[in-house]
Structure 1
């Protein structure tokens, strides 16, 4: 059935609001993911007057049997969702919602922190600017952000940012408080300042990063790349990237709700992981990439060439991905334009964020799956790939007319 289960309102169940050292851990994390704007500054990504509408055809998705990704056991779709700290999920088939459920305090209009799904939104915004001729992906980053001229970004191209292929030194070790990914949070005010040498602005922090490899080499996932891309968007347009995202993407696709992005002390957006949005609007975004760039009402939003380029990848995208220094657990896959491709076919792509955020897009079946979660740990391979298997199984069943 098409479920929409809502329980109560957002709260921390009497434990009080979290401090900067607590909000990303249990028992606060689930509340924090849905209430960022209540304790951290944000910049709105405004929706418009036009709202595109999904059709609805409820089916019994929750009973669908899902094989475990590597063990000899199965669970139902509903059990996979329940066991992976899901706050909300939605499945749409060719513009029709066939299943939607909200768990715990999550509600249809709740803004949920997207973590690195933010990167896919930001890279798509850059693609829109490339399509309008306002941004050249083959120009140096420093042409748009001269403040980075003395940093490791010198010589890097904008294309290297959207594909995660600069040689900038940046550690993505989420559980290491000395890793750059955590120092970045200190710079923007998302964590208590423990390293006094860290600048107090995001751009100031990016300017301190060095280089430890060639630009345009192997895939190397680094959150700083999308923050640099945000400043590129600002340099290309002279406007706040959140406003650009609103006017070029959020409003044209017919978002139902406004979104927002976390900002630093001077208002710069954390576009690597700071966007919060509602579940259905994530499905609207995903629909663009299974519908040739068109919104639910057929209005053109994303250039078809950008959608095609994203699915096709560059000439050496898969080679660069295979040569990544860290394991991707996606043999034969690639990363292109802010999206993950988990296999060789190139027909399924993902927007992913830590703690269990996912948009699943299958251009062959026309299925979009969205899941927002609050995993206790930043990364969990079993939860990730069982979710992927659940959406894959649902996608095939819908495509074959079994649901």
Structure 2
């Protein structure tokens, strides 16, 4: 009997380490419901063939991932009064046909929420209502949210803490002296390099991401230049795991997905060691991406529970230094804490390669999710600027439609009283 108990404890320990599938914890000899599960594939996340549109909607079945279960209390969004999105919108002094734009940018999902209710929802192959779409670098905004949660809970003491406070193995490396705030603002001083993504992919496949991070060299003073370096959020992932004492997936499951009512499973890409790759690699259905936007639209609160502090949300979605202004950032948008800011003070967006967006316009009380397979951008300077123009036009339509709906309800009541 003693041997059986010992073997069971060893098995539970292996599960908690993520090596044998679903991860559980044991309390008084009783396992709690499983929270996460590692799924191993032969292909590395970075080696998936993204030249095929269907790969973006099927990444979790092609690459190694950790799966997180839906919330025990899923909270589907209610339906609101349907709207018709504009037939055309203005961009650089020209009228652009919305249908042409959506087709040209490979749109697979377009979801519009106003006041937390679904006003418009459209899916195109290979997307779909139940399709888990790869958000690419839009997942960086999720990394930021997890830092915000850890900060509010006191797991991270200050955004001005250096990386080596939490990671002894990075001490002495150039990354060791970089602060969490500088990592969030893409202002670490590190060089990106022409082969950054292939090199990160090779390190992830070999299980040597720590060595990769230790080897990076500073080229500018941290906190002075915005340089989009994918290694920055990857390092934040290591800091999160060290600060919380949990895997990132477990922490995300417990402190984010469970309270905000995740509807369907969530997936994160992992490296050979099982470490989550926090530079991107999140896969959700469109409605669950909208939860992130809605959480930020409500200043970090969900159904009366404060998950992220309002101050962190405000700083995340504001230009906090001159080098983060639209004039100084590559895409001519402002930059916050791993969030893009198209028009400072008015809107903000998660943004990922191949056309992934979680756009939030607080004044319009609107969140828009656009998922895409924009593999060959059909616009001369890429699709980001024209997409922002389209999303702004849709957000403006929701406000007008809301007014019309209210006006219609008033007239109905008024006429019934005559």
Contact in 1 for aligned 2:183/2:232 (Cα 8 Å): yes
- CA-CA distance at 1:100 after TM superposition: 0.7
Of the three residues 95, 105, 108, the one matched with 2:126 is: 105
Provide Cα deviations, 1:163-194, integer angstroms capped at 9, x if missing partner: 111112222x5xxxxx11221012113xxxxx
Of the three residues 299, 309, 316, the one matched with 1:303 is: 309
- CA-CA distance at 1:402 after TM superposition: 5.2
Q: Are residues 1:122 and 2:143 paired?
A: yes
> Where in structure 2 are the equivalents of 1:57-206 lying within 5 Å?
57-67=80-90, 69-70=91-92, 72-76=94-98, 78-135=99-156, 136-171=158-193, 173=194, 179-189=195-205, 200-206=207-213
**What are the ranges of 5 or more consecutive residues in structure 2 without an aligned counterpart?**
1-41, 406-418
Higher mean C-alpha deviation, range 56-65 or range 88-97: 56-65
Q: Are residues 1:385 and 2:407 paired?
A: no
Partner of residue 61, structure 2 = 38
Give the structure with the higher percent helix: 2
Q: Which runs of 4+ in 1 moved over 6 A?
A: 17-22
Instruction: Output the CA distance in 2 between the equivalents of 1:339 and 1:121.
Output: 9
Higher mean C-alpha deviation, range 370-379 or range 109-118: 370-379
TM-score by length of 1: 0.83
> RMSD in angstroms over aligned alpha carbons?
2.4
- CA-CA distance at 1:241 after TM superposition: 1.1
Provide Cα deviations, 1:49-72, integer angstroms capped at 9, x if missing partner: 1112322125343443212x2252
Contact in 2 for aligned 1:218/1:321 (Cα 8 Å): no
Instruction: Output the CA distance in 1 between the equivalents of 2:378 and 2:47.
Output: 18
TM-score by length of 2: 0.80
> Where in structure 2 are the equivalents of 1:213-228 lying within 5 Å?
213-228=220-235
Instruction: Output the CA distance in 2 between the equivalents of 1:306 and 1:205.
Output: 29
Q: Are residues 1:355 and 2:354 paired?
A: yes
Of the three residues 273, 280, 291, the one matched with 1:284 is: 291
Instruction: Output the CA distance in 2 between the equivalents of 1:187 and 1:86.
Output: 32
> Where in structure 2 are the equivalents of 1:250-265 lying within 5 Å?
250-265=257-272
Provide Cα deviations, 1:333-370, integer angstroms capped at 9, x if missing partner: x21121011124x2200100011000100111110000
- CA-CA distance at 1:44 after TM superposition: 1.7
SS in 2 for 1:269: coil
> Based on CA coordinates, which of the two structures has the bigger radius of gyration?
2
